Amino acid sequence: MNRRLIVMAVLAALVVAMTMPALAQDAAATYKSKCVMCHGADGKGNPAMAKSMQNLDLIANTKTMSEADVAGIIGKGKPPKMPAYGTLGDPTVQALAKYVKGLK
Q: Residue 76 burial (CB < 10 Å; 0-12/13-18/19+)?
A: middle
Domain residue limits, the chain = 20-102
pLDDT (tens digit per residue) in 70-88: 999 999 998 878 889 888 8
Who's near 28: CB < 8 A, 6+ residues apart?
99
1 pLDDT exceeds 90? no
pLDDT (tens digit per residue) in 16-67: 554 444 555 688 999 999 999 989 999 998 888 877 777 788 889 899 999 9
Q: What is the CATH number of domain 20-102?
A: 1.10.760.10
